């Protein structure tokens, strides 16, 4: 059973959902073994418990891998537009499947920080941008 319920919004990449509370990226902590887990999970990968609580993440991490794919635009008709999908390792440890905004990293490992995009209007998507500030 999930505790500390916060609003669910759709994730940028994939059909799952990500947790957010006042534009803070929320992740899960297993109540049994204390393992920190990605925001899109239904149970602990260490002990199998489904007793999870939501906790705030710093929203910072580093790029593990990325790929640019072409997709149809959602706001207009026209040709394909590039989208950078990525795996980000949060500073707390869990990996998040997401998209990158702005500058495309030249190599894996650059620091990134979560940002929330206001689309669609009923939710805000967590995406990551390469951080130009030192942590």
Q: What is the pLDDT of residues 8-59, one digit of tens each?
A: 433 333 333 454 445 688 899 999 999 999 988 899 999 999 999 999 999 9
Residue 108 has pLDDT above 80, yes or no: no
131 versus 93: which is more confidently predicted? 93
**The two structure tokens encoding residue 60:** 């910072």
The pLDDT value recorded for residue 82 is: 87
- Provide the strand spans (E) within the chain: 2-3, 8-10, 17-21, 24-30, 36-37, 52-56, 60-71, 81-90, 95-101, 111-117, 125-130
pLDDT digits (tens, 9 = 90+) for 120-129: 555 556 788 8
Using CA atoms, how far apart are residues 27 and 72, in angstroms rounded to an integer? 30
């Amino acid at each position: 059973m999930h505790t500390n319920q916060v609003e669910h919004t759709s994730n940028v990449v994939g059909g799952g959902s990500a947790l957010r509370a006042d534009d803070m990226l929320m992740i899960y902590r297993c109540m049994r073994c204390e393992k920190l887990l990605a925001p899109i999970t239904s149970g602990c990968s260490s002990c199998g418990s489904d007793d999870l609580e939501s906790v705030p993440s710093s929203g910072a991490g580093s790029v593990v891998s990325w790929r640019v794919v072409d997709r149809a635009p959602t706001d207009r008709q026209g040709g394909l537009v590039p989208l950078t999908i990525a795996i980000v390792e949060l500073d707390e440890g869990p990996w998040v499947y997401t998209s990158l905004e702005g500058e495309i990293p030249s190599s894996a490992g650059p620091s990134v920080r979560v940002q929330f995009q206001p689309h669609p209007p009923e939710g805000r998507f967590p995406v990551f941008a390469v951080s130009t500030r030192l942590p």
